[in-house]
Chains A and B, each alone.
Chain A
Amino acid sequence: MLYQDQPLPVRRSVLDSHRSAYETFTRPGTWFTGDEKISILREARHASQCTLCLKRKNALSPFAVKGQHDALEKLSENIIDVIHRLMTDSGRLTETWFRSVIESGLSREEYVEIVGAVSTLIILDSFATGLGSDLASVGEAQSGEPSRVTNDNVLDCGAWVPLFNLPQEATDTGLPTAPNIFRAMGLVPSAIEHFFGVMRAHYGLSNMDVGISRSQVELIAARVSALNQCFY
């Protein structure tokens, strides 16, 4: 049971979203089976122990250090590289690197699904670690094949991947109804659902049920974004 031994009060909406996210991890996705998804998550949790990643993190440019990752799972090298760099040095990813990943044979859809799964896990694990709780186990994979459903309703908007083509009306938050961050994983709508199912329980642009002020919320968001060298 998630956060059962946690003395601090975890909101019901957060708890429910985490339960649901863990359940989704075990199901076949759009481009990966349940087993493959769980391997991706195990590898993500293992990345902080990779010697190559540590060397790259300490180098002036992570692309100047060559070598092999200390991998835990039997995943292809390009998938391991995406997972490890995302986990350990995402602030220094570049479009040149992204293109090399795609040229190595990973489809943009597979890439987006990995990014979605790992980023969702990062929220869950950061929250658990922040509370001082143990990381939850991901569970057993459910059988079945990936749906391989493509979404053609996407547009090139200057990102590395095309974005979901959604309405862009202005709102009083200063952001459009569907900000770019929501559209970023448009190639794999199930990844958006999975990720934002958790994200929305933690943060909203308006009507947040939290015990701190809006300015305090945005200060935390801004500081974490700066630490992660995030332009968006």
Chain B
Amino acid sequence: MLLRRSGEKTEKKFNLAGITGAKTGDIGVSDEGVLVALAEAVVSADSGQIKVARNAAVDCIGEEATVDVIGIAAAFNGITKVANATGLPLDDATESSTQEMRESAQIDLYSDSYKSKILG
């Protein structure tokens, strides 16, 4: 949801539904292919997948930026566990300002109420 905010600040419109897979097509962020591949590899913890994605990132965005991508992916791999394990609701301002975006990107499918309904 902060990507949406980032887009508002730079007056760019991103295909946010592309991030969750709710829609296909480019998201609209530079070098998104290598960034997403490396982020996905970090979450997978698959050393082979990581090596391929990391080498591609180094070639495309350089060593320092590659380490930054790994660092951000690692951080969000941790912080999402805190949110998932505490049933954390959205902050009030986010809840009201992101309703339409959450519906189109199908983020509401990750809500505790939906998960409880389908998983028991």
Contacts and interface: CB of A to CB of B under 8 A. Distances in A.
Interface of A: 8-11, 14, 48, 61-64, 82, 86, 90-96, 98, 111-112, 115-116, 118-127, 129-132, 157-161, 168, 170, 173-176, 179-181, 184-185, 195, 198-199, 201-203, 205, 210-232
B120 A63 contact: yes
A211 B62 contact: yes
A173 B2 contact: yes
Contact of A130 (B42, B61, B83): B42
Q: Give the contact-size bracket for chain B.
A: 35 or more
B39 A115 contact: no
Chief secondary structure at chain A's binding surface: helix
Contacts of B97: 174
Contacts, number: 277
B3 A11 contact: no
A198 B77 CA distance: 13
Given A115-B82, A232-B90, A224 B47 contact: no
Chief secondary structure at chain B's binding surface: helix
Given A126-B43, A215-B12, 20 more contacts: A8-B66, A11-B68, A96-B116, A115-B85, A119-B81, A130-B38, A130-B73, A160-B87, A174-B2, A175-B94, A199-B78, A211-B61, A215-B29, A216-B69, A218-B3, A221-B3, A223-B40, A224-B43, A228-B84, A229-B84
Nearest to B115: A94
Interface of B: 1-3, 5-7, 9-10, 12, 14, 16, 19-21, 27, 29-32, 35-36, 38-43, 45, 47, 50-51, 54, 58, 61-94, 97, 107-112, 115-116, 118-120
